[in-house]
Every structure is written in C-alpha cells, then in structure tokens.
Structure 1
C-alpha cells in the first residue's frame, strides 16, 4: 500500500471522499496476477483497484455542474471515449478505448480515501441507500442485467449457477420480479447462506431435480459450468453468462443451435445501475446480508492475501475512513 498525492478534479471530473468500497473477484485476480487484462496489456502495475464504491462529492472540476458538490454518489465502472460508434449508440461499456475504473489503466480505483471520477458517469444515491448498499450498486447492476437478459416472466423458473455475490444478487433480483429461483452451489457447505436468505431450493449438481428451467444464469467460475448451463436450459430459452473461469471454458455450439437457445454475455453494470439503486431504495432487494465484514484500508492487504475476517457473506467491504 502506498501514500499518493490527493487527487484534484480535472475538467469534467469530480473528487469523491470514499465512504465504502467492495472487493470483488476481479480485484483478487488483479492482485494475484491472474486477471487476463494483465496479460493483454490493458492493465499494468502499479494499479489501484476498487470499482464498487460510494461516497460524497467534495470537489468539482471545470465544466461540472456545481450541484454535484456535497451529494452522495456512486458511479459507473465503464468509462467510454464518448465519440466512437459504440458510445454514440449508447453502448459505452463495450467502447474499445474505454477506461474501467480501478481495473484497466488510466483511472485509479476507489480503494483509497478519495477518488477522481468523470461526472458524466455519476449516479446520485437517495437517503434510503446507505453506505453498504451504495457499494453494492455495481454488483447489483450486473445481477439485474443478468436477470433481464434471462427473459423470464413472473412465475417462471430460473436456475442460478453459483452462490457467490453475483449469484445471490441474481437470485434476489429474480425473486423480486416474481421468478421461482433455484441455485446450485459447489457443495453442501455453499447452500447454508442462500437457504438462510429464503432460497430453500438450493442444490448441488448431484441433487438438482430433473425439471424444466426457463432460464439459466451462470454466475460461477467453474470451467465445466457453461456447458452444464446449456444442457439444462429449456429449448428456445436463454442462457446468461456472467461468471468467468480462469482456464477457458467450452460449449458445443451444436447444442446451442439444435436447442434454439440464445446465449447472452454480460459485461459491466452500466445499464443496470439505476435499476439497482431503485430496488435498494424501495427495499425490494436488500443485499446487506451478503457483506461478511467491513475492514480498514490497512486490513485490506490481508483480504487480498486470502485471509478473510469471519462472517457468512461472500463480500468484504473496506471503509477508508477507519
């Protein structure tokens, strides 16, 4: 951990005093060196992670509306160039020249006391969204996009592969929209938390009932799970892939074609951030039980090294003010 100069807002930016920041699998892979961006050159050391965050705007740069000052906010991770074909079509999260806050080179992340963020990518937080919820907006946006991509209607059956943060958030958003949600964990030890959250239909691969699945979301990291998702989904429906394994995973496109299945990949929370904030504010989704502990910046090094504080949830938060 390094002491660095406090950020100053460039034109179009604000500086945020960080209230809370989450650690996710991407951050762990950046720390361990397994993250693919480190091998393609999109990311390089030294870097400062942290893309799940919230805080209060304390300074605004030239060209920024002064009304942002003093507001509690979170922000998009994906920062597009703003002028390419994809950005102009509203798909900035797949802009070839994009920055990814705290992930790709160019914009340091929020695992710090302050972070500089482009003002055009801010989202205001209502009073009902506390610091813990605010730092869960980014993973919530990913989960909400996954649920929407699955294309289910109320009463239909969704199978979620994985009981980590994203898998459980997918389950929460799907339940809030009236789906019948089932989850798969790696083993019996992974099923206690989802069941405690009211997801009684939590299984392992070996115990999963043989019944139709109107949609499948793969939020796992197992290389063997993408073909399993394709195998289990009903013909003519959708498989959503948001989890990534370190080794490459394979699916048989003959299965995809002969079942007339649509496969959807989810990169980034951008289009789901506003919906996640709304769901947290109205109480239809409450992800706070997923947070096992909140630690200081000094303690975050132990988390990156794999020494987790006790707690049942999969998510660790840091409070830079401690």
Structure 2
C-alpha cells in the first residue's frame, strides 16, 4: 500500500510499504480522511519534543486525526466490526500500569500514540491497523470530514469542560486556530460570551465569519472581565498573558504547547485564587465530541480549507496552502483521491 514516510527533517515521500495485518485484538481500517496537525508539522521540521526525548524517531509515519472503515479484524475481535465507519483514540496505553487501570491511559508512561510516539504507524496511508479497544463508531450523521475532526474536537471540548463555563460567563480564547475555534464553538453552544485573540488578520476575519464578532488583536482586546481564559496558542508568552487577564477566582486552561518553556508567576496564580488546568489529548472527550457532531450542536466542517490526495501531503506539512484553499485553518488528506 501507499504511505507517507517522513525520513528526516524536511524529508518525506509517499512510498510503497507492506499493508498492515490485524494482530489479535486489532482491526485494519481503510483510511478515508486524515487531518494535518501542528504536531505533524513539528515532526516535519524536526522540532517535535518527542524526537529529542527518545519517544519518537525517524522514519515515522504520521497521521493521528482520521476516519475510515473497518476492513478486517484479528483474532478475538467481534466480526461485526467489519464494515463499520470509525475513528480512533490516538493514545494507546499499555493497559497494565496504575494510570491505565485508573482510566488514564492517555498519560500512560509506556503509551504509544498513533502516528506520533512509540513506533505506531499513523493514518497518512491507504490503511491503518489499531487496537479495536481504541475505536469509536461513527453514526451516519458524522461524515468522513467530521470523523477526522473528532480528535481535535475532543481536545477542544475537554478544554471547555475544564473552564466550567456557565451561560452568563465570558471566556477569552487565545489562538484562533483549529483547537481555538473548536473551543469557541463548544463554548458558544453553552451560551457563554466568547472572545478570541489572535495575530493574523486573516484568521481573525475567518473567526468573525463564523459568528465570533469579538475577535481581537492583542492591542485591541477590551478591558472586560474574563471568567475563564483558554490558551490554545503556541506562543510562549501567552500563558502569562492568560493569567494576567483571567478574573480572580476564575479558571485557566492550557491546551496549547509552545516550542520553548512558558513561564507564569505562581504568586499571581495563588493571590488571584485561580484554578489552572492542563489538557493533553482528546481521549476522555471523544464520545461526547462524536455525539455533539451527530446532533449538530456544532458543525466544524467550515474549518477544513481543502482536501487533497496523499501525494500532496508534503505541501501542508511545509506550511504551504493549496491554491484553491478556503479560509479555514485545517487541511485534510483523502488517500482515495487520485492525482499528484
């Protein structure tokens, strides 16, 4: 089968590789859609921390935001899975450690991450093999595009849940990228007043087109109280800015990661009686995200700017947008599309 293989920083190509087989407890998926994520870009540039910590190495097969259809299953798996449309959890714990046994497999020290960590191949390929225990069935109302938006949606949903918003709350979201805009959609569905802060005129204008009129450059941000601040950016300076802008007794949520250490003054955290929460992975939020998409509570499909064939994945990894791309922040790959 075809798979995109990254062999080093800025070096990758579509290669012919052995098709996966379903080991015991696993399923093979025909991949229908894959999202290109900032994590994938960091692997492409060589900046991803896992590369320097020994959790990942080249060559690597990327792709952890995906949807598809089960084609075969391994020993011990109910054959009823065959033919089902699914997406899957990125985080695969060892299933035996204290964290896994307490339901926290997404922070298992020995975890694999699909397309990210521990040598588990990702979904930028014709097919993907994963444990059936990681799969989530997609209802008919959740199409392939929505299915590949479940993973970022789960991260965003968990960030909003951590903010504990009420209908009369005002929330500030830093970074109007995919996670930030998804968080804004979930927050709006709860009745909160949503503000977004970003740097690029184009991303702020797109946020306004989605109905988020309160989208600001930093120097335009109004002096109003924010009951919660969600940092969905990759800017090292913004975690401290978030602490500065949150109301006393409010909540901070950190779901973005900078490429260098971010510093906050914990004296301000204590003296303002602020609760700060970190969010890693969609895992505990996947089922609720699928339900929200299925019910139409939010529709994130406008975030997808373009869908291109597998042979064109190198361009978005390098930061290039297709000529016919819309204004959204997300590029999707459909391995079923032909053409270079």
For the aligned pair, the TM-score class normalised by the smaller chain equals over 0.9
Identify the residue that residue 327 of structure 2 maps to in structure 1: 312
Matched, 1:63 2:76: yes
What is the deviation of 1:11?
0.5
Identify the residue that residue 6 of structure 1 maps to in structure 2: 19
* Partner deviation per Cα, 1:258-309 (whole Å, 9 max, x = no partner): 1111111110000110111011101111000000000001011122122211
- TM-score by length of structure 1 reads 0.99
- TM-score by length of structure 2 reads 0.93
On the 8 A contact 2:111/2:118 being kept in 1, the answer is no
What is the deviation of 1:107?
1.0
Unaligned residue ranges in structure 1 (runs of 5+):
none
* Partner deviation per Cα, 1:194-244 (whole Å, 9 max, x = no partner): 100000111111111111101000001111100000011111121000111
Identify the residue that residue 152 of structure 1 maps to in structure 2: 165
* Separation in 2, partners of 1:316, 1:98: 27
* Separation in 2, partners of 1:230, 1:159: 11
* Partner deviation per Cα, 1:100-128 (whole Å, 9 max, x = no partner): 00000231000000000100010000000
Decide which moves more: 187-196 or 262-271: 187-196
Identify the residue that residue 113 of structure 1 maps to in structure 2: 126
On the 8 A contact 1:291/1:314 being kept in 2, the answer is yes
Q: Which contiguous aligned blocks of 4+ residues in structure 1 show a shift greater than 2 angstroms?
A: 187-190
On the 8 A contact 1:47/1:105 being kept in 2, the answer is no
What is the deviation of 1:187?
3.9
Q: CA RMSD in A?
A: 0.8
Matched, 1:72 2:85: yes
Q: Residues 89-100 of structure 1 correspond to what in structure 2 (within 5 A)?
A: 89-100=102-113
Q: Residues 1-322 of structure 1 correspond to what in structure 2 (within 5 A)?
A: 1=13, 2-309=15-322, 310-322=325-337
On the 8 A contact 1:289/1:313 being kept in 2, the answer is yes
* Separation in 2, partners of 1:60, 1:224: 47
State the aligned residue count.
322
What secondary structure sits across from 1:298 in the alignment? helix
